[in-house]
């Protein structure tokens, strides 16, 4: 089967980790959508959980499938968060093993908040996301007023920033938080932890898509079925 079958296998396997009474972080993107749909079916069968959405879209999907929602300020933490990734380092010999690039859906600010608040963070991906080294552009969410000066700082760091433009709206993509996104190409990122620190130190950067030490488990959908990475 194609990538959708791989995404479905990964998403549905992650949903199996959810137990009665849990507070569950609900990620954003097409792979996590399979986990959210599976949880909707489990809730219909009596599973009692509360979900915390990571974007307008994941909230909308969770409401559609009937998952009761709550918010971070109404719970004592998150038991398990499930989310996708654009790239996952898959090299046990690499110091960057398990580092992620996220933000393809421009939701990485609340995704990282939820991932950081969760006791367990489970990534779901199809096999095309596995890489030996991160090399996709890193999404960086910025205050609108700051997008040109942040772009200059990104260039000082050796990056090539591009303002993410909308396709069904004139002008740039605007995030759920009312900010803009710079997609910053750095080529191969050998030390994502160092780059993450540099990006976080730029004034008016709200969040970037490098998730360096977050993942506890990655479920990977493949042609043969499912692979599991535990860290
Ligand atoms: O935007 C995000 O961070 C998404 O999780 C993205 O990284 C993965 O989206 P996909 O599952 O649709 O590929």
Residues 16 and 2: their CA atoms lie apart, in Å, by 22
Tell me the C-alpha to C-alpha distance, in Å, between residue 114 and each of 47, 50, 69, 195: 21, 13, 14, 21
Residues 190 and 180: their CA atoms lie apart, in Å, by 26
**Ligand 1 near 128 CB (within 6 A):** no
Taking only the tens place, the pLDDT of each residue in 91-147 is 999 999 999 999 999 999 999 999 999 999 999 999 999 999 999 999 999 999 999
**Ligand 1 near 90 CB (within 6 A):** no
The answer to whether 129 is a known ligand-binding residue is yes
The answer to whether 83 is a known ligand-binding residue is yes
pTM: 0.98
Residues 208 and 200: their CA atoms lie apart, in Å, by 7
DSSP state of 29: S
Taking only the tens place, the pLDDT of each residue in 5-48 is 999 999 999 999 999 999 999 999 999 999 999 999 999 999 99
Task: For the beta carbon of residue 14, count every other beta carbon within 10 angstroms.
Answer: 28
Q: What is the pLDDT of residue 1?
A: 61
Our answer to whether residue 19 is catalytic in this structure is: no
**Ligand 1 near 30 CB (within 6 A):** yes
Residues 94 and 106: their CA atoms lie apart, in Å, by 27
């Amino acid at each position: 089967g194609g990538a959708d079958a791989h995404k479905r296998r990964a998403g549905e396997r992650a949903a199996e980790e959810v137990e009665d009474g849990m507070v569950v972080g609900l990620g954003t993107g097409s792979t996590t959508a399979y986990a959210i749909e599976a949880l909707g079916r489990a809730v219909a069968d009596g599973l009692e959980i509360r979900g915390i959405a990571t974007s307008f879209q994941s909230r909308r999907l969770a409401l559609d499938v009937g998952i009761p929602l709550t918010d971070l300020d109404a719970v004592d933490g998150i038991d398990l968060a499930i989310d996708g990734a654009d790239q996952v380092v898959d090299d046990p010999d690499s110091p960057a093993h398990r580092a992620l690039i996220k933000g393809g859906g421009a939701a990485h600010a609340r995704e990282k908040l939820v991932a950081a608040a969760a006791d367990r963070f489970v990534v779901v991906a199809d096999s095309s996301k596995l890489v030996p080294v991160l090399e996709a552009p890193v999404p960086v969410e910025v205050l609108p007023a700051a997008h040109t000066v942040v772009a200059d700082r990104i260039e000082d760091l050796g990056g090539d920033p591009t303002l993410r433009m909308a396709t069904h709206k004139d002008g740039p993509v605007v995030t759920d938080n009312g900010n803009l996104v710079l997609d910053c190409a750095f080529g191969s990122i050998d030390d994502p932890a160092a780059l993450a620190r540099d990006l976080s130190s730029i004034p008016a950067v709200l969040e970037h898509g490098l998730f360096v030490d977050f993942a506890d488990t990655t479920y990977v959908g493949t042609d043969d079925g499912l692979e599991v990475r535990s860290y």
